């Protein structure tokens, strides 16, 4: 009945394994995995390409080298594959890091190129060979594209690759006394670069999609149509920011008979390219339906009915204001949109009461119109929710912000008024795009 004859239990095996010294190879694997996990966590924290490149440069310096440069190819440089083929490659140096840091953002006596500069690499230099061949290059000679003190600082250049494409290169320099880069160094740096490349590529694709959407929206969101001569208009569009996709905010002015002008402002739900395309669809449908000269609430019914039949068009809010300067009145109808504000020559702005129906595209279509007086010199302000709304805030509190607007409007231009609105009503960092349309009889 001795314990030797009973064997070793599971718990004892775990204790013995924990007490056994790890092999050098196992410790190296653990260290490598820990390093790559850290790289994944610290590189690619945003969708800004320059920030991601800077995070890569900071990660490798001074861990692997005393200097590092991250260079990115033009987005259309590599249609497919890992190589560039013939011709000297051209890159944009996005991030530079040095420790200790002699780099001050300007050319110096050692030939450092300012951050953001475009560089044409010679085919024979290490970076040129890396970009041409699509593989890591080690070199201990001074290169023409980044000379080093002493003429013999070890250099390692590894490609940045993502989705089967070459997107740039990471260059590392060590001082001569720290010795050359080994094969193990090269493999580890390449593994870090591969992790970082996915973040850089994601950021570049996001930036490209954002830029394309912005260009599309700028093309679609032209100045509102020309109103009648008895109505003065001004408009503004303020996108959320460079790090966010634009939305479907839009506005329009349509001339009707008897000196009347239909003012429109709307907001397609969501952001990005689809929202911008749907915004254009709503704008086109509205122009067509408005040509029938139906009252505003019936125009909304027609738009709701048409869009509800199409699964391709997402819902949108919309506010219509039929301005009739001859009769000194404006007829309003809303589909889930915030009410306009009326500014007089004296006193604060005040939101106008408007019966609010459901957003367009729901198929519910219960819209009503209301008439308000609009005297000469008064300003009607139409806006999207990004101007006043805050997350987690009651809508009445949001609308109360408009009462901050106290202006003498008799001599003030509408452009100056809108500049004042954007300077005083929204927060420093708005939560959404802002579109404004101001009209004065």
Query: Average pLDDT, stretch 294-323?
Result: 88
The more confidently predicted of residues 337 and 143 is 337
Mean pLDDT of the region 298-312: 85
Band (141; pLDDT cuts 50, 70, 90)? low
Give me the mean pLDDT over the 78-89 stretch.
50
Which ranges in the chain are annotated with CATH 3.60.40.10?
221-440
> How much is the pTM?
0.56
Delimit the CATH 3.30.450.40 region(s) of the chain. 24-212
Give every CB contact of residue 127 below 8 A, 6+ residues apart in sequence: 71, 89, 91, 121, 137, 143, 145, 146, 157, 169, 171
- What is the model's pLDDT at position 405? 76
- Rounded mean pLDDT, 365-385: 92
pLDDT value of residue 10: 46
| Residue 222, pLDDT score | 55
Percent share of the chain, pLDDT over 90: 30
Asked if the peptide bond before residue 62 counts as cis, ω within 30 degrees of 0, the response is yes
320: confidence class by pLDDT, cuts 50, 70, 90: very high
Q: What is the 3-state secondary structure (H, E, C) of 143-188?
A: ECCECCHHHCCCEEEEEEEECCEEEEEEEEECCHHHCCCCHHHHHH
Residue 44: C-alpha distances to residues 142, 204, 350, 435 (Å): 31, 11, 46, 32
CA atoms within a 13 Å half-sphere pointing along the CA-CB vector of 198? 9
In which band, very low, low, confident or very high, does the pLDDT at 220 lie, cut at 50, 70 and 90? low
What residues have CB less than 8 Å from 436, skipping those under 6 apart?
A: 235, 236, 237, 238, 251, 381, 382, 383, 384, 387, 418, 421, 422
pLDDT recorded at residue 241: 54
pLDDT per residue as tens digits for the range 102-113: 544 433 333 344
Task: Tell me the mean pLDDT in the region 206-227.
Answer: 68
Res. 243: pLDDT tops 70: no
For 95-99, 247-251, 410-414, which range has the lowest pLDDT when averaged over its residues? 410-414
**Tens digits of per-residue pLDDT, 163-172?**
888 999 999 9
Residue 151 pLDDT: 41
The CATH code that applies to domain 24-212 is 3.30.450.40
Pick the more confident residue, 187 or 26.
Answer: 187
pLDDT at 82 over 50: no
pLDDT of 223 reads 61
Question: What integer pLDDT is reported at residue 342 of this predicted model?
Answer: 93
C-alpha dihedral (181, 185, 186, 191), degrees to nearest 10: -160
What's the whole-number average pLDDT of the chain? 79
Instruction: Report the CATH architecture of 221-440.
Output: 4-Layer Sandwich (3.60)
What is the predicted pLDDT for the residue at 216? 63
Give the pLDDT confidence of 12-69 residue by residue, as tens digits: 544 444 455 557 668 777 888 888 889 889 998 888 888 999 999 999 998 999 999 9
Give the mean model confidence (pLDDT) for residues 410-437: 82
Q: 112 or 428, which is more confident? A: 428
């Amino acid at each position: 009945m001795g314990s030797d004859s009973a064997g070793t239990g599971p718990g004892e095996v775990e204790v013995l394994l924990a007490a056994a010294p790890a092999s050098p190879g196992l410790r190296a694997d653990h260290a490598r995995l820990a390093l790559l996990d850290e790289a994944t966590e610290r590189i690619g924290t945003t969708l800004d390409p320059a920030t991601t490149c800077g995070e890569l440069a900071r990660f490798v310096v001074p861990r692997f080298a005393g200097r590092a440069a991250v260079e990115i190819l033009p987005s259309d440089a590599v249609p497919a594959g890992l190589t560039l083929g013939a011709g000297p490659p051209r890159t944009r140096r996005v991030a530079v890091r040095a420790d200790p840091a002699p780099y001050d953002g300007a050319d110096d006596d050692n030939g450092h190129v300012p951050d953001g500069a475009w560089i044409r690499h010679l085919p024979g230099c290490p970076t040129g060979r890396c970009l041409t061949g699509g593989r890591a290059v080690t070199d201990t000679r001074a290169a023409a594209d980044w000379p080093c003190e002493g003429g013999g600082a070890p250099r390692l250049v590894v490609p940045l690759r993502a989705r089967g494409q070459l997107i740039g290169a990471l260059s590392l320099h060590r001082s001569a006394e720290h010795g050359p880069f080994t094969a193990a160094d090269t493999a580890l740096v390449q593994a870090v670069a591969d992790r970082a490349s996915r973040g850089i590529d994601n950021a570049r694709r996001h930036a490209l999609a954002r830029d394309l959407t912005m260009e599309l929206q700028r093309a679609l969101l032209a100045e509102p149509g020309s109103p009648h001569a008895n109505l003065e208009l001004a408009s503004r569009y303020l996108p959320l920011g460079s790090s966010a996709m634009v939305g479907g905010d839009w506005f329009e002015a349509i001339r009707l008979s008897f000196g009347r002008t239909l003012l429109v402002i709307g907001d397609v739900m969501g952001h990005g390219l689809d929202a911008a395309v749907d915004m254009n669809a709503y704008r086109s449908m509205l122009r067509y339906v408005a040509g029938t000269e139906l009252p505003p609430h019936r125009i909304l019914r027609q738009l709701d009915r048409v869009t509800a039949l199409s699964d391709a068009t997402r819902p949108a809010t919309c506010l219509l204001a039929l301005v009739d300067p001859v009769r000194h009145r404006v007829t309003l109808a809303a589909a889930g949109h915030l009410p306009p504000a009326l500014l007089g020559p004296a006193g604060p702005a005040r939101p106008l009461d408007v019966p609010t129906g459901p957003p367009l595209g729901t198929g519910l279509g219960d819209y009503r119109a209301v008439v308000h007086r609009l005297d000469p010199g008064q300003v009607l302000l139409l806006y999207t929710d990004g101007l006043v709304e805050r997350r987690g805030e009651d809508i009445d509190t949001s609308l109360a912000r408009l009462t901050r607007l106290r202006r003498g409007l008799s001599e003030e231009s509408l452009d100056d008024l809108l500049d004042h609105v954007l300077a005083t009503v929204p927060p420093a960092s708005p939560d959404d795009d802002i579109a404004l349309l101001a009209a004065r009889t």
